[in-house]
Amino acid sequence: MKVLIATEKPFAKAAVDGIRTIVEGAGHKLALLEKYTSVDEFYAAVADADALIVRSDKVTKEVVAAAKNLKIVVRAGAGFDNLDLAACTERGIVAMNTPGQNSNAVAELALGLMVYMSRNNFTPGTGSELKGKTLGIQAYGNVGRLVAKVAKGFGMNIMAYDPFVPAEAIKKDGVAVAASLEDLYSKSNFVSLHIPATAETKKSIGYALLSKMPKGGCLVNTARKEVINEEELLKVLAEREDLKYVTDIAAENQAELNEKFGKRVFATPKKMGAETAEANINAGLAAANQICKFFATGDRTFQLNK
């Protein structure tokens, strides 16, 4: 079988080497398409692939149509909003992700961004500490749980809101359970987003919630830009001169935000939550193992399009 890694944002070399060892060790071939600059390159590379490993690369219905032999696609990472699951299902292609594998890297970055914003974007001037501040975690999944664990080390007070996780499972970590999203936003000095981008969550974070944050509040987004209502974010930042926004996924209107609000906003130059060798190795090797197991035994653990 031919396994293609198609990554516009490449894996660390150690991850590619590890994937190659697993894939070739199982008797398959590995092909590599990195830093491609047009979808045509992707269409050409995927044409004879039996399996595909991607990161945030968009597996659209056009990619699926171009991939005549494709049997399985694995998103090496958590969020799978980049996969057209319906197109995969229609063609009988199994789609998977690798949940939890890059969570620690994202959690560490979330805390790093909080420190950065608390310390005047690392420019001279008196900053503040995370210790004693309240952190609201929106969605208590793999990343949310790790953010809580790391934030505890900083001495933060932590609360979380997740309607899909039983309150007891949150409380056992020493994390308070917010009664509602409004409750979370109104009590948190920092809110850290860990929701996926779905039809329900897109544009769900806007004026109503952000205007409830206490003085000096900071929204931390290592999730997806699509969950933010960007027009309303702009409005609330203009009205509330104390609020801050830090993101790992630049907003569509980021240039305007930067120009209007200066150091109160910051976006990383490219999404780098999962940009660590460890995260690449964890997620990349998990993807390779899942593919080999699927070909060897038909194993469909982590299948998304059931």
| Number of residues near ligand 3PG (by CB under 6 A) | 10
Nearer to ligand 3PG, 237 or 283 (CB): 283
Nearest CB to ligand 3PG, comparing residues 162 and 248: 248
Contact 105, 278 (CB under 8 A): yes
192 binds ligand 3PG (CB under 6 A): no
Q: Which residues of 123-135 are buried (b: 16+ CB within 10 A; e: fewer)?
A: eeeeeeebeebbb
Interface pattern 4-43 for ligand 3PG (x via CB under 6 A): -----x----------------------------------
Residue closer to ligand 3PG (CB basis): 53 or 175: 53
Can you tell me which of 6, 274, 286, 292 binds ligand 3PG, judged by CB under 6 A?
274
Does the footprint of ligand 3PG cover residue 212 (CB under 6 A)? no
**Nearest distance, CB of residue 82 and ligand 3PG, angstroms:** 8
Q: Which is nearer to ligand 3PG, 15 or 292 (CB)?
A: 15
131's CB contacts (< 8 A; 6+ apart) are: 154, 155, 156
Please give the order of strands across the beta sheet that includes 94-97: 29-34, 2-7, 51-54, 72-75, 94-97
Supply the minimum distance, in Å, between the C-beta of residue 273 and ligand 3PG: 6
**Mask: binding to ligand 3PG, 59-88, rule CB under 6 A, as x and -?**
------------------xxx---------
Neighbouring CB atoms inside 10 A of 161's CB total 25
In single-letter form, the type of residue at position 233 comes to: L
Contact assessment for residue 109 and residue 115, using Cβ atoms and an 8 Å cutoff:
no
**What residues have CB less than 8 Å from 283, skipping those under 6 apart?**
15, 55, 76, 77, 98, 101, 102, 274
Q: Among 221, 271, 284, 291, which residue interacts with ligand 3PG (rule: CB under 6 A)?
A: 271
Q: Which two tokens stand for residue 158?
A: 């932590």
The residues near 115 (Cβ < 8 Å, ≥ 6 apart) are: 130
Identified binder of ligand 3PG from the candidate list 16, 53, 55, 187, rule CB under 6 A: 55
User: Which one of 51, 102, 160, 188 is in contact with ligand 3PG (CB under 6 A)?
Assistant: 102
Least Cβ distance, residue 132 to ligand 3PG (angstroms): 30
Give the nearer residue to ligand 3PG in terms of CB position, either 146 or 177: 146
Is residue 273 involved in binding ligand 3PG (CB under 6 A)?
A: yes
Please state, in angstroms and rounded to a whole number, the distance separating the CA atoms of residues 78 and 80.
6
State the minimum distance, in angstroms, from the CB of residue 34 to ligand 3PG.
13
Spatial distance between the Cα atoms of 118 and 130, rounded to a whole number of angstroms: 7
Q: How far is the CB of 158 from ligand 3PG (least distance, A)?
A: 22
Task: List the one residue out of 72, 71, 77, 78 whose CA is nearest residue 7.
Answer: 77
Q: Of 55, 47, 45, 59, nearest to 94 (Cα)?
A: 59
Taking the C-alpha atoms of residue 28 and residue 41, their distance in angstroms, rounded to an integer, is 22
Which residue's CB comes closest to ligand 3PG? 77
Q: Which is nearer to ligand 3PG, 9 or 28 (CB)?
A: 9
Residues in contact with ligand 3PG by CB under 6 A are: 9, 55-56, 77-79, 102, 271, 273-274
